[in-house]
Amino acid sequence: MGSIHLDWSVIEFAFILTLLVGILFAVGASWRSGAPDLNHVLKQGTRASGRRRGRLRGILVTAQIAFAAVLLAGAGLMVQGFIRLARVYKTFDPGHVLTMEITLPEQRYNDDAKIRAFHQQFLERVAALPGVLSAGTVTNPPASNVDNARSLFAIEGHTILRESDAPSADLQSVSPEFFRSLRIPLLQGRDVTDHDGDGAPAVAMISRTMATRFWPGASAIGQRIKLGSPGSQANWITIVGVVEDVKQNWWDSAARPVIYRPFAQVPRRWMNFAIRTSFDPHSVASAVREAGHSLDPGVSLALSTMDSEVSDSLAPIRILGILMVVFGAVSIALSALGIYGLLAHSVAQRTHEFGIRMALGAQRGDVLRLVIGQSWKLCAIGLLIGLPSAYLLVRLIENLLYGVIAFSAVIFIALALVLTAVALLAGYLPAKRATKVDPMLALRYE
């Protein structure tokens, strides 16, 4: 997502295309009106054609309002979803976390002992740096927009006859201090420690969702599981701790069961580090990089911050929300201009009618309400079309982005009020002009 940027060549092409289309339509209109048939014009019923053009303009304005309703409803819900997701990741306090991805070369790190030694030494050196509060590592960090590896597992004492009935969970390798570095609460039991290494009893921590799903009403601490199919000969793993759920990817509709193994028992050549600092994480970036290269100059290091990782993760929702806000604002502006133009033209055509009404005793307020009522009618029709269409769009997006986008009656009510206010304001100036018609001049209008 970090590569998302404005492509000026695309913008230039769009500008030139828009300019050419505008010129083409202008030339076409000029050519059509260049040699009018005067006999046809004189014979044409100007009032009837004016009414037809007025109805066409009314249809276009109504369509603009309907499109604005759909776009703004989508924009409001996208922005709401983005804010909701941003709050979820704020629990990590990402502003003080430096992140780093390390990939060890396979040629030089071809056994678990070498992999384990590098990561442990690196963590020790980083933890000793001034300003570093804690440092931990995990195979796949939150907000990565990458799914975890998954595995079937069996629970001791539970009989599974078919492999298709076996439960599954995400797999992660973590070091001591990882959960502390991202402020993920420990709910039960203990964290993994340096003693949970090679040769020690196999242990694991699990997520809250896994604990409540497979051991409802009981403690998962001390329970044993075995990775793989029901007939697997793998060793039994003892559960020693339960941690709060972590939202791995923004599109996850619900938390999934996760098994966290100590990285010393299941080392990986590629690991992601979370380093919490007491000040700006950028200030320790060079020292952290130096700590890695001092152990092995050929190791690949990719540094970032948790803030930027979260921002990149939510970029699709943010960009889509911004685009819909922009398009919605343009639609509102076009709707307002359309209503203003339509009513201004209508007032000009109905000057004689308004003069007669006022000569017969109609008050200026009556004329004002008459004209504004026309704008309210256009808005009401547009909303009657647009709001149900927006609701259908929201339900479709809900199915695609379940857990991210949710219907909100407040947004729909606010949307209806905004569009109504825009329609009334756009109709006010033409209505005000209609109230200033001089009845005597209007009666001589035609």
State residue 401's pLDDT score: 61
Q: What percent of the chain has pLDDT over 90?
A: 24
- pLDDT tens sequence across 390-434: 888 777 776 666 556 666 778 788 878 887 887 777 777 777 776
Least confident residue range of 107-116, 180-189, 395-404, 414-423: 395-404
Q: What is the pLDDT averaged over residues 96-103?
A: 91
State residue 3's pLDDT score: 46
Contacts of the segment 156-162: beta carbons below 8 A, 24+ positions apart: 156/223, 156/224, 156/225, 156/226, 156/236, 160/230, 161/230, 162/230
Does 153 have pLDDT greater than 70?
A: yes
SS3 399: helix
* Separation CA 17–CA 301 (nearest Å): 45
Does 317 have pLDDT greater than 80?
A: no
State residue 24's pLDDT score: 64
State residue 129's pLDDT score: 92
Query: Which of residues 16 and 437 earns the better pLDDT score?
Result: 16
* Separation CA 412–CA 252 (nearest Å): 25
* Separation CA 205–CA 216 (nearest Å): 17
Does 46 have pLDDT greater than 60?
A: no
Least confident residue range of 58-67, 289-298, 350-359: 350-359
State residue 38's pLDDT score: 43
Query: Which of residues 444 and 231 earns the better pLDDT score?
Result: 231
Q: What is the pLDDT averaged over residues 112-118?
A: 90
State residue 192's pLDDT score: 92
- pLDDT tens sequence across 344-368: 666 666 666 666 666 667 677 777 7
Does 44 have pLDDT greater than 50?
A: no
- pLDDT tens sequence across 234-276: 889 999 999 998 888 777 767 789 999 999 999 888 899 999 9
Map out the domains of the chain as residue ranges.
53-90+315-443, 105-298
Whether residue 98 contacts residue 303, with contact meaning beta carbons closer than 8 Å, is answered with yes
> Structure pTM?
0.67
Pick from 70-79, 399-408, 435-444 the range whose average pLDDT is largest: 70-79
E strands present in 33-182: 97-103, 132-138, 149-155, 168-174
